[in-house]
Every structure is written in C-alpha cells, then in structure tokens.
Chain A
Amino acid sequence: MSEGTIRLIFLLLALYVIIMIGVVFLVLLPMYVPLSEVLASNPITVYPEGVAEVNPTLKFLEATIAAAWSTHGILGFRRFLSDLAKTERGMKYVNWLTVALVVVIVPMVIYAIMTL
C-alpha cells in the first residue's frame, strides 16, 4: 500500500472520529438525556460507558468509532516510529509491527466496547 493511501486512510479515519464523537455528544445523547446534563458531566464517564447505558444499540456505533480511533492511533504511532527508523529494513519492521497492532488491538477494542 502506498504512503499516500495510508495517509488518506489515516485522515479519513480521523475525520470519521471527529464527526461521530460530535454527533454522539451533541445529537444522539440529547435524544435521551438533556444536553445540559451531558455538558455538565465528566466526559470520561460519558464515553463509552454512559452512552452504552443510555441505549445499548449505540454500542455498535461506539464500536465503529473505537475501531476507527484505534486504527488512526496505530497509524499515527507508525508515523512516529517511521521518524525513528533509519533504514529500509527498519521501516519493514515498523510496517509489520503496525499490521500486528491492528490485528491485535482493533478486535480487542471492539470486544471491550461490545461487552460494556
């Protein structure tokens, strides 16, 4: 996969996360709970546990956000590691580590959200 494609995926995932977190906090949650209550609560307790308690179906949406967010994070970590890698061989290791992290962490994150 070319660097440009990876960059595009990286940015699109970030855009999805930014938009969907806004949608969850400002559109979906106020359908069940007053907005003032959402904005006066500790955000760490709102997402993801609070959202899942309000409506368990929202867990599916949360899982997609978490998957996109963690993939974005892993690709960002790859960018950080690629600044440290000085050789082609080093970059190959970084790419393998990235694939391994995606394979391990993304299902784990989805599982963690779905079992809330």
Chain B
Amino acid sequence: MRAGRGVGEWFRLINYERLYFTIQRISGLYMFFYLIFYRVLFDAFVSPSLVSSFDMTVPGKVLAALFLVFLAFHGLNGFRIMLIEFGIIRGWPLRNPIRNVPGLRRSRIHLIYNVLMIIIAVAALVYLPYLVTYGAVFRP
C-alpha cells in the first residue's frame, strides 16, 4: 500500500472511476437486453398488448424504473467519457514519489462535472422511479 493519503488510504478500494466503469458496463448490458429483447422483440413483434399489461405490473415498473435510472447514469457518465476522450476535460498528473495524483484528479472541470453528475444522478434516482410509479400515461 502506498503511503501519503492519510485517512484516504482506508478507502483505496473505493476508486470512483472504477466504480463508474463497473456501473457503466452493467447498465449498458441491462439496457441492451431490455431494449432489444423486451422493447423491440416482444413489444413490436410478439405481443404489444402483453408488454403493455406487463408494464403496468410491479415487476414491469421496477424493470422500467431501473432502465431509466441506468439510462440517466449511463448518459451522464458516457458524456463525461466523451469529454475526456475528445480532450475537453484534461489535466496534468502530479508525479511525486509519495503522493502521485492522476491527471483527471487534478482537473477542476472534471471535479465540477463529477459533482453535477452525482447531483443529477441522485435526482434521477428519485424522480424517474416516481414518474414510472405515479406518472400519467402520456396520451396526447
């Protein structure tokens, strides 16, 4: 274990970028199967009425709420990845024998984006399941 992070060393296993990566992959896989198999195959080709009635049940609403929450996080984190890959978010790493800091950890824009992303993700975690449960059926 490297020294130099004080109490932060206790939480070395909680690397938020690795956590984001894991959630990004899990959410991507979930959305892929939910959209392609459930929404497209079943809804459009097998039985639309069955899907509509299942959507109104508790398991259907849980699946839909999970999909929307995952979608919000996947979109926000995906946008962060894009900003990094296109060079909009960048930072210089601090090379130090005791306290190495990766480039992204030193980027102020990245920090601000992270804070905003977490706030929006928490709001989505509350608002989207609420909409799925109590929101009106959209019939213009």
Contact = CB atoms under 8 A, between A and B. Distances in A.
Interface of A: 7, 11, 14-15, 18, 32-33, 37-38, 40-46, 49-50, 53-54, 69-70, 73-74, 76-77, 80, 105, 108-109, 111-112, 115
Contact of A109 (B40, B78, B86, B137): B40
21 contacts: A37-B136, A40-B131, A40-B136, A42-B64, A42-B132, A43-B68, A43-B128, A43-B131, A44-B64, A45-B135, A49-B138, A50-B140, A53-B140, A70-B36, A73-B31, A73-B35, A77-B29, A80-B29, A108-B40, A112-B43, A112-B44
The interface residues of chain B, by DSSP majority, are classed as helix
Nearest to B132: A42
A41 B140 CA distance: 11
B138 A105 contact: no
Interface of B: 25, 28-29, 31-32, 35-36, 40-41, 43-45, 55, 64, 67-68, 75, 78-79, 81-82, 85-86, 128, 131-132, 135-140
